[in-house]
Structure 1
Amino acid sequence: MVDPMGLENLHIVDLPEPQAGPGEVVVAMKAASLNFRDLLAVKGGYGSMQKQEKLIPLSDGAGEVIAVGPGVSAWKAGDRVLGCFFPDWQAGPLRREAVGTDLGGGYDGVAVEKRVFRSDALVPLPDDLSFVEGAALPCAAATAWNAVIEKGGVGPGDRVLIQGTGGVSLFALQFAKMAGAEVFAISSSAEKLALMQAQGAQHLVNYKDEPEWGKAVMKLSRGRGMTHAIEIGGAETLKQTMRSMAPGGFIAMIGMVTGPKAEMNLPIIAMQEFKLEGATAGSRLSLQRLVDAMAANGVKPVIEDKRFGLDDLKAGLEYLARGEHVGKVCIDIG
C-alpha cells in the first residue's frame, strides 16, 4: 500500500480477510507483473485520474479462485484466472466511464495475497501458461494485442516496426509474427537485437549506431516503408518513426519513454495520410481473444530472469525504473 504517495512510502499492511459479495469472487493472487505506469501511479502521477490515498498498486496479476459469492455460476474454487486491466470495459470501443477504473490506478490493484473481483472482470488462464506468465498479460500484452491486431489489423505482407525489448514491444513482435508480418526491430545493443531476432524479427537496426534510424529502416524495407509501427519512445522517436512509414501507414501510439511532447511535421502526416492512434489495454473481450490466440499458437511471454517477492516490491519497481530488464519483470505472491 502507498500512503502517502511516493515510492519511499510503499509498505506492507494487514487488511481484513476479503469476502465475496453477490456477483463477486475471491482470488488468491499468485503472481503479478510490473509496468512503467505502476511507477507513475505509486508516485501519484495520474493526479485526479487515480486513487491518491492508501493505494494498493499494480494492475497485472493472476491467481486462483478460492471463494464465490451468491449468484456466481461462471467460476468455482480452483479456477485459474487473470484480472482485466479495465474491469468496467467489457467490449466495444473505449468509453469515458471506463477510463478511470484501471487496476492499480483508479481502483486498488493486485499487490495483495487475496483480492475480491467482480465475476465479469476475470478471464480464464490457459493450462499451458503459468501464473507468472498469465500475470504478464493484462496490460502489456493486451496493449500490444490491441495495437497490432484489434486496431492495427496486421496480417501477412505487412511490415511492422518494433521499438526496444520492453514488455509491450516483445509482445507486439510476437503478435506481428503470429499474424504473418515482416518485422523490423530497433534497439540499443547487439544483445537486445539478438533477442528480438530470436523472437522472429527479420531486420535489425541499432539506433545508437544509426541516429537517423528511420532512414535505415526505410532502406532495409527497399524503400517500401512500414505499414505499421508500435511507437514506444514518444517525443524523441516519433520523427524517425514517421520517416520509416509507408504512405497510409498506421502508427500505434503507446509509450512516451523519451517524453510526452513531440514536434510533429503536419504536412508530412497530411500528404502521406498516416494514421496515428492511441492504443490502450483493451476490453475484457479483447483480453479473452488475446489469451485464446496465445494458447492456440503456443506463444509464451518473455519473462525477465530476475524476480521479486511481494515484500521486495519497492526493489522491483526500482529495478524496472533502471531499464536493465528484458521482457516482463514479475512478482511472486503466493
Structure 2
Amino acid sequence: MRAWQLEDFGLDNLRLAERPTPRPKRGEILVKVSAVSLNYRDKAIVDGVYDPEKMPKYLIPVNDAAGVVAEVGPGVTEWQVGDRVLSHFYSHWLDGAPARDEPDWQLGGPLDGGLAEYMILEAKSAVPTPANLTDEQASTLPIAALTAWFALVEYGKLQPGESVLVQGTGGVSLFSVQIATALGARVVATSSSDEKLRRVAALGASDLINYRTTPNWADHVLDLTNGRGVDHVVEVVAGEGLNQSVRATKAAGHIALVGFLGGQTAPLNVMPLLYSQVAIRGIAVGHRRAFLEMNRWIEQQHLEPVIDSVFSFEESRRAYERLEQGPFGKIVIRVGD
C-alpha cells in the first residue's frame, strides 16, 4: 500500500512511501481508507512539538479516518466486510474515566494512523459512520466533533437557554457552534476576522467579538450578559488568554480547556479563579460511548460538518500547508474511492 510516513520532524520529512499492507490480527479489522481530516494536533506532531519523545520513526500520521472494512481478523463478529467505519482516537478508551496510559494508545501518534490506503483498527474501538454523511464529511468527526460534544454535552450538560463562548473558527470551534446552536444555547463567538465572524453567525452564533479590535473581550462578554458571564467556555487558545476566559465565565461556570494555540503553559491568576469558583476541565477528545451517542444525534439532527477544502492523497503536504493558513472548517484528504 501507499502511505505517508514521518521520517523526521518537519513537513519536508513527511514522505509518500510503499509499505506492506497490514493484515488484521485477532480482534482487529483492516480498513480501506476513504478519507482523513487534519487537526491542529497533526501539524504539532509533524512540527515535533506534540509529545515528540513518544513518536516513532516512520510514523503514519493522522487519526481521523473514514473507510470501509476490507478484512476482519479472527474472533471479530461485530463487523463485516463492506461496513462503513470511523477511527476512534483513543483506541482503548471505551467508556468511563480515562486510564493514565490512554495517550499511549492514540492513533496517528504514537500508533500508526490513517494517512495511508489501509489501516488497522481494533474491532472494539471502531465506530459506525453516520448514515447521513459521506466519508469525507464523516472523517471530520473523531477528534474535532467529539471534543466539542464531550466539552458541551458529556461534561458541560448543556441546557437550552444557556450561553457558550466559542473561541476562533477551527474545527472544534465550529462544531461547538453547531452543537450548541442545535441544543438551543446562545453562542458568543470570537475571532480576529470579521469575515469569519460573519460566517460563524450563519452557523448560529448570535454575538460576535473581534478580539483584535476588542482586546479586552472578557469585558465585552460581561456587557453582553449583564455582568453575569457565560455558562460555558470552549477554550482553544489557553496561554495568557485563559485569565480572560475565567473573567468571562459566570460564577461556578465551566471552562472546557481543549486546545493550546496560545502555548502549552498558562500563567493563571489564582484569586479570580478562587473567587468565581469556575471549574476548568481538560478535555482530550472523549470515549467511544460518547462518540456513538454523538453520531446518533448527528443523524437525527442532519448536522453537516463545515469543510474548508479537500485535497487528493498525493497533495497531503499541501493540506498541511492549508491548515497552517487558518482555514474556515476542516481540511480533508481524499485517500480512496
Q: In the alignment, does 2:331 pair up with 1:316?
A: no
Map of 1:208-223 to 2, 5 A cutoff? 208-223=212-227
Q: Secondary structure at the match of 1:120?
A: coil
Map of 1:259-278 to 2, 5 A cutoff? 259-278=263-282
Structure 2 gaps, min length 5 = none
Contact 1:6-1:42 at 8 Å conserved across structures: yes
Q: Decide which of 183, 198, 211 is 2:202's aligned counterpart.
A: 198
Matched pairs, number:
332
**Residue 48 (structure 1) shift:** 5.8
1:285 maps to 289
Contact 2:130-2:298 at 8 Å conserved across structures: no
2:333 maps to 331
Contact 2:65-2:139 at 8 Å conserved across structures: yes
Residue identity opposite 1:83 in structure 2? S
**Residue 14 (structure 1) shift:** 0.9
Map of 1:1-334 to 2, 5 A cutoff? 1-47=5-51, 50-304=54-308, 306-323=309-326, 325-334=327-336
Residue identity opposite 1:321 in structure 2? E
**Residue 18 (structure 1) shift:** 2.2
Contact 2:233-2:254 at 8 Å conserved across structures: yes
Residue identity opposite 2:99 in structure 1? R
Residue identity opposite 2:167 in structure 1? Q
**Residue 157 (structure 1) shift:** 2.3
**Residue 38 (structure 1) shift:** 0.6
**Residue 49 (structure 1) shift:** 5.5
Once residues 60 and 229 of structure 1 are traced to their aligned partners in structure 2, the CA distance between those partners, rounded to angstroms, is: 25
Contact 1:49-1:100 at 8 Å conserved across structures: no
**Residue 57 (structure 1) shift:** 0.5
Q: Secondary structure at the match of 1:13?
A: strand
Contact 1:91-1:283 at 8 Å conserved across structures: yes
Structure 1 gaps, min length 5 = none
Q: Secondary structure at the match of 1:117?
A: strand
Contact 1:3-1:54 at 8 Å conserved across structures: yes
Identity %: 38
**Residue 22 (structure 1) shift:** 1.8
Q: Secondary structure at the match of 2:231?
A: strand
Residue identity opposite 1:279 in structure 2? I
Contact 1:49-1:105 at 8 Å conserved across structures: no
- 1:103-136 CA distances to partner (integer Å, 9 max, x unpaired)? 1112011001011211112111022101011100
Contact 1:49-1:106 at 8 Å conserved across structures: no
- TM-score w.r.t. the length of structure 2 is 0.95
**Residue 20 (structure 1) shift:** 2.1
Contact 1:146-1:279 at 8 Å conserved across structures: yes
Once residues 326 and 200 of structure 1 are traced to their aligned partners in structure 2, the CA distance between those partners, rounded to angstroms, is: 15
Once residues 121 and 42 of structure 2 are traced to their aligned partners in structure 1, the CA distance between those partners, rounded to angstroms, is: 20
- TM-score w.r.t. the length of structure 1 is 0.96
Once residues 166 and 34 of structure 1 are traced to their aligned partners in structure 2, the CA distance between those partners, rounded to angstroms, is: 11
Residue identity opposite 1:60 in structure 2? D
Contact 1:29-1:113 at 8 Å conserved across structures: yes
- 1:268-324 CA distances to partner (integer Å, 9 max, x unpaired)? 1111101011001111111111111111111111111x221222111111221121x
Residue identity opposite 1:329 in structure 2? I
Once residues 22 and 284 of structure 1 are traced to their aligned partners in structure 2, the CA distance between those partners, rounded to angstroms, is: 20
Q: Mean Cα displacement is larger for which, 142-151 or 175-184?
A: 175-184
